[in-house]
Amino acid sequence: MFLRALRFVSCVFLGLLAARAADRPNIVLLMGDDHGWDETAYNGHPYLKTPALDQMAATGLRLDRFYSAGASCSPTRGTVITGRHHHRYGTFKPGWSLRPEEIGIARLLRDAGYATGHFGKWHLGPVKASSPTNPGAMGFEEWLSHDNFFELDATFSRNGAAPAVIKGESSEVVVAEALRFIAKAKAQGRPFFVVVWFGSPHEPYQGLPQDLALYDRLPETFANRQVKLTSNETGRTVTRLQREVLRERFAEITAMDRAIGQLRTGLKATGLRENTLLWYCGDNGTPEEAVATVPFRGHKGSVYEGGIRVAGVIEWPARIAAPRASAANAFTSDMLPTLCELAGAKLPQRPLDGTSLVPLFDGREPARTQPLFFWDGGPGREAGTEPYLDPELQKGTTPLAKLGPDGLATRNFLNFKYPQVRDADFGGSRAVVDGRFKLVIDGARGTGTELFDLQADPAEKTNVISAHPEAAERLGKALAAWQRSVLQSLTGADYR
């Protein structure tokens, strides 16, 4: 009797799960590493070939004013996972970890019945089994991940195990792993949430011969200057002609685009593409050594448009039946509240910095109650000296081509306790985007406070603060209040 009842309850549960899966979308988040706004053919790049992204933009929702919420990799990735600005939990710079108490999107969707998997770059803490901030600790049931970025024939850890090399073009490797996970979720009758964070096109650059050949004939006049980057041979900094460097970078972008095409084809072959939301973006603007066609001011690491404006495109045939473009301001912190609404998952009861973009799918404006805030630098290590986690737990294991200052190919992570809010910790480069205006404070050395009209001047060439002092004052007050909230979170107050 008991076994029959148990089987009945199990059948009912599985039936409800299957019914809910049919009502909710599958979700795949894709992110390029250091892939700038202009580095797609659909955004007008004169040389790059990105047919998969171009098709997504032509048939789905193109986000023309999409931003990375951080100016560099780890900070932005933290905002995707948490929906919160990275300073709230001490991920100040690349290589600074999350905190274990953060509630991530994978945990929320897993609790809502989704199968959750992470594939590729993590960079929010070590991916080893003992790390309290590995993908599994953040809610991913399975992962094949790297602590940082990776090139061809990359080294990955599977579910926290000892690292192992997987031969092949790295973007294709992580997409193939994602497709295997998706097939498993389908067989189980579960909706899936999959994150694919590519190692491309982060330097140092490596391309397959067929991809390099596409860019053999870049004009002699294009990118005719010397730039610094990492040598694949030595792991140290070298100086090279930018045109040769970009040939390799473009090859990586094309290979990443091809892998995205393989993912789309795989979803179609299994009948999953119609009800799968596919969302692509970059993690920050173009890095300095690759700046050649960027139409904006600044580059990676800057809160000017060139550092935080990134490609953003969403494809979901079942909901976005006709192509459209949106000029609404949006950023990576919006991903968590958007996906929670679609999946029927509850939002964490703590300060969030994003808002749901679901109205965009129906051609309406999101109900944003606050501007987009950006803050690079900030309190940093000097605000606290006591490690938040045991340093042994913060040691990485997956090697990369670029050697660190200590000469090691692996990376260790940082996070520190922040006991109290100090007046000295409100500094650093910061910005506010609200409608047409953008306020920038200390965007570069000696620039002070600037106000830009992004509708008339997306390149941020003209400071209009003298013509609109009331807008600058309003945005400045909002920024200061928001910073205080962020620093309060940094003390750990949200976890109590």
**Average pLDDT of adjacent 10-residue blocks, the chain of 496 residues:** 41 38 85 97 97 98 98 98 98 96 98 98 98 98 98 97 98 98 98 98 97 97 97 97 98 98 98 98 98 97 98 97 96 98 97 97 91 90 84 98 95 95 93 97 94 97 98 98 97 96
In 3D, which of 327, 324, 343 has the Cα closest to residue 335? Answer: 343
418 in a structural domain: no
Which residue(s) pair with 27 in the sheet?
193, 277
Residue type, 495: Y
pLDDT of res. 381: 66
2 in a structural domain: no
pLDDT of res. 378: 78
426 in a structural domain: no
User: Alpha-carbon distance 99 to 416, whole Å?
Assistant: 10
pLDDT of res. 9: 41
Please tell me the total count of domains within the chain.
Answer: 1
Q: Are 282 and 311 within 8 A, CB to CB? A: yes
Tell me the CA distances in angstroms from 107 to 135, 425, 482, one per residue in order: 10, 31, 26
Identify the domain containing residue 79 by its residue range: 17-368
- At residue 165, the 3 state secondary structure works out as strand
User: Alpha-carbon distance 258 to 50, whole Å?
Assistant: 8
464 in a structural domain: no
User: Alpha-carbon distance 34 to 294, whole Å?
Assistant: 13
Handedness of CA 187, 113, 135, 341 (dihedral sign): positive
Residue type, 22: A
User: Alpha-carbon distance 306 to 284, whole Å?
Assistant: 9
494 in a structural domain: no
CATH of the domain at 24: 3.40.720.10
256 in a structural domain: yes
- At residue 2, the 3 state secondary structure works out as helix
pLDDT of res. 379: 82
- At residue 474, the 3 state secondary structure works out as helix
Residues 6+ apart with CB under 8 A from 448: 441, 442
430 in a structural domain: no
140 in a structural domain: yes
User: Alpha-carbon distance 97 to 76, whole Å?
Assistant: 12
Which token pair is 453?
């009209």
